[in-house]
Structures are given as C-alpha cells and as structure tokens.
Amino acid sequence: MSPVKVQKIVCIGAGYVGGPTCAVIAQKCPEIIVTIVDLNEARINAWNDEQYRLPIYEPGLVEVVRSCRGKNLFFSTDVDKGIQEADLIFVSVNTPTKKSGVGAGFAADLNYVELATRRIAAVATSNKIVVEKSTVPCRTAESMRTILEANAKPNCRFDILSNPEFLAEGTAIKDLHNPDRVLIGSLQTPEGLAACQSLSDVYAHWVSRDQILTVGLWSSELSKLAANAMLAQRISSINALSAICEATGANIDEVANAVGYDSRIGPKFLKASVGFGGSCFQKDILNLVYLSESLHLPEVAAYWRQVVEMNEHQKSRFAKRVVDSLFNTITNKRITVLGFAFKADTGDTRESAAISLIRDFLKEKANVNLYDPQVEEHQIWQDLAEASPNLSLETIKKQVNICSSSLEACKDAEAIVIATEWKEFKEIDWETVYQGMNKPAFVFDGRLLVDEDKLTKIGFKVVTIGRGSL
C-alpha cells in the first residue's frame, strides 16, 4: 500500500507539546498547512496575539511562530473544520494523573484522549492518519482504534500511529530542530506501515532518515514512559547520594563529575537538586507503577514507586534543612524563594519543587517573599491554594508576597532559597542583597547555582545541597 502525501495537518491541543511541535513542523514544511485547534478560546487568542504574547514561554518559540503564522500555520477553535480538512491528525491533549476513581494517584486520566477520538470519528468523512502525541499508557492506541472503527462512517478508514515527544521544556525548540531521534510506532500491517511512512516523510524534511526510528505501536508507547522513568531514576539516584554527601562531608559536584567520566554512565542528569518537577517525570513513573500493578508485577511497581518517593523526600529534606539551619524555627521569619517554575527557561510550574517548599514553610508559619521572572501571578496563587487545601487563599496571601524583582524579594529576609536555576539569579548583586537582609543572612542553594566561596566572603551563611554544613 502506498503512503499518503500529507498536505494538511491538524493538531488537537494547543499546549506545551502540540503548540511548539506543530509550529516547527509548519516552519520546516512550508508546503504543508498546519492548524492547531483547541476549545479553549483564551488559549487560541493568545497564540494569535498580535504582540506574540504566547500562552507558553519557550526560548525561540516566538521566532518560529512569527515566521509562519498566517502563512501555513493557523490557530483556531473550529475543531470540526480542522478534523474534516486534515490528512493527518495529532492528538496532543492533556493526560493528567487521575485524582479519583480506579487508579487514582497513579493511572493517567484518558478522558480528553477519548473525547478527542470520539470527535474525530463523529466528524471525519474521509480517511485519516491519527497520531497519538500525548504521553499515554501502553496500548492506549488499541482503545483509540476500537472507538474509531466502531464509529467510523462508511468507507472511512483510520490508521493509528504513536509518535511520542521527547522534548525538554526550556530547550523544546532546540530539541525539535535537532532531535536525538523521532520515534514512530505503527501496526505492522501494510496499512500501518504506509501510514508510518507518511509521517516519516514529514519529519524527513529536516531530520535525517537514520534518526527516524520506526517500531511497533506498543513499543513506541512504552518507550516514552521508559525514557522518562530512567531519566528520573538518575535524578533520584544522584539526589539520594547528595544526602550521603551532606552527612559525610563529601561534595556532590565532585562525586557526580567523577562518576560521569565513566563512559558507561556519562555526565547527563547527574546534577543534584531540590527535586525534579514538570509535567512528565512523576506522571509517567506513576503510570508505569500502575501498569506494573495491573500486570501483577508488584516488585516492579515498588521499584519505580521508590523513584518518586525519593524525589518527594528530597524536597521535604531540603525544607527541613532550612528550618534546622535557622535555629529550628522559621515562625514569623521572612524567607525569600527565588524561582517558582519547575526549571529555568519555562513558565511551567507543574510538580515544581518551589510549591512543596512554600507549602512546608507556610506550615511552619513563615512569611514568604517570592519572585519568578516568567510565572504569572494567577498561576502561583492557584498552585499554592491547591498545595495547601486546608488554608484559605486569603490566609495564603497574608503569608506570601509576590515580588517584581529578586532584589525586592530579598529585602528584609532572614534567608534566601534558590528553587529554580534561572540565569539571572547567578547575576544578582549579592553585596546589595546582603546589606538589605537580617543577620545572620542565609542562602540555601537548591540548584548548585551560586559561587559559595564568593557569597561566604560577603558574609552569607551558605547551605548548598549535596555539601556538608559549614
């Protein structure tokens, strides 16, 4: 069976994956019309904003959108029109962890995936290639195929592909322009292989053919979960070692550097921190835990669960170290938290370590000054309220002050906690900060960001994750 030449692509979902991915496809494939659709009108309006105030922050994204929006890249709330006209449909909707029902706290909530799939079946009047772009449990494509085939109109065929993303927020555009690999999973039938070829031809506009990996459908789905789980495992491993370093006087930077020289291990993802966050790692590991338990593999489930438990322990351990260092109490003390995004160069706050730290500080009745250069104020209040359901938003706002600069946030504080590795935090005028703080002035570096010797000479008491107390 011959592959279809893709001329029109629609992406259902205008979030962190669908938006940047399809914007780059439009940029690299000027002859293909790409439309990104979403029922969230405010989000689509932001993508269409004349001043390019896009709904997500990602370095390089504005330039990509500016280069092709209105030419072959469009953003719309007309989902049905997009489905009807497309040859290929990316399903890139949110798959959060379930909060209730069977599998609550572990399994992925596939409600949006099912709704999108049923909409495709209801609207489509011609053959479509449907591409599972969201991160989903293994064999989700089988459920999608069952729904599509049960509701397809006469002479309307759907071919299902899995094409997981491997983007790192903060470097997503760079990752899309120069990917390590593109993974496409398909059924190993003539129709499935032809659909796989059609999507491969799209990526081949800028990705070398030998970097486009084609595998079975279920292997593709599981590979995404496996990749994130193993990356998170490395972070939890180095963070576990950071606790030992603090107890023994070893330096986690030196340990990680020495270990990273081993060619079998390598240096990546060996940087200790206050903990990993983001939309993928914890969600995907919990998904893997649920899958393992569903397959009656309790030991495997327990193994992967420990990666998440270690991450949560790292956050609470760091918060406790702040309290212990400040003479075992932070009640009514002013603590500055620098950074609220889960990592630098993104406005994403999902599972951010800062949320857990501030929650713990509020429990200790501390006052918190907070500054982040990208996260919107409404997002901060929403996250803090969700993290502390026993506190009213009014109470939280009495204890937390959102500041417009790092210098403002640090004024009159007892301690500074670095929770996100924003570059600007390395360039702070620490002499001025020290003069405006209560003494003794503490800096707790949760991201191995600052020059400890320099700050110590200024007069700070510096506590660095993965190093013993001075």
86: nearest Cα among 34, 16, 122? 34
Number of other residues whose CB lies within 10 A of the CB of residue 458: 14
Which amino acids are annotated as binding site for NAD(+), given as ranges?
A: 13-18, 38, 43, 93-97, 134-135, 169, 280-283, 350
Rounded to whole angstroms, the maximal C-alpha distance in the chain is 77
Tens-digit pLDDT profile for residues 268-306: 999 999 999 988 899 999 999 999 999 999 999 999 999
Domain final residue pick, 207, 230, 252:
207
Task: Quote the CA–CA distance of 86 and 409 in Å, as a whole number.
Answer: 49
247 falls within a domain: no
- The structure tokens 């200024």 sit at 458
124 falls within a domain: yes
Residues 285 and 200 reside in one and the same domain: no
For residue 160, the cross-strand partners are 130
Domain final residue pick, 190, 207, 224:
207
Number of domains in the chain: 2
pTM of model > 0.75: yes
* pLDDT for position 292: 95
- Those residues whose C-beta lies under 8 Å from the C-beta of residue 389, and which sit 6 or more positions away, are none
Tens-digit pLDDT profile for residues 224-235: 999 999 999 999
Q: 202-208 — which CB contacts under 8 Å span 24+ positions?
A: 202/6, 202/9, 202/25, 202/29, 202/32, 202/88, 205/28, 205/29, 206/28, 206/177, 207/179, 207/182
Residues 351 and 439 reside in one and the same domain: yes
Domain that holds residue 117: 8-207
Task: Quote the CA–CA distance of 44 and 129 in Å, as a whole number.
Answer: 24
Residues 13 and 136 reside in one and the same domain: yes
Residues 168 and 307 reside in one and the same domain: no
Tens-digit pLDDT profile for residues 406-463: 999 999 999 999 999 999 999 999 999 999 999 999 999 999 999 999 999 999 999 9
Contact 58, 176 (CB under 8 A): no
Domain final residue pick, 191, 207, 223:
207
Catalytic residues: 280
Task: Quote the CA–CA distance of 149 and 129 in Å, as a whole number.
Answer: 13
244 falls within a domain: no
260 falls within a domain: no
Which amino acids are annotated as binding site for substrate, given as ranges?
A: 165-169, 224-228, 264, 271-277, 342-343, 447
Residues 129 and 33 reside in one and the same domain: yes
Task: Quote the CA–CA distance of 45 and 263 in Å, as a whole number.
Answer: 48
Residue 315 corresponds to which amino acid? K
* pLDDT for position 470: 52
Looking at residue 146, which CATH number applies to its domain? 3.40.50.720
Task: Quote the CA–CA distance of 359 and 42 in Å, as a whole number.
Answer: 30
Which amino acids are annotated as binding site, given as ranges?
A: 13-18, 38, 43, 93-97, 134-135, 165-169, 224-228, 264, 271-277, 280-283, 342-343, 350, 447
Residues 321 and 195 reside in one and the same domain: no
Residues 444 and 340 reside in one and the same domain: yes
239 falls within a domain: no
Q: Which residues of the chain have pLDDT under 70?
A: 469-470
127 falls within a domain: yes
Residues 154 and 28 reside in one and the same domain: yes
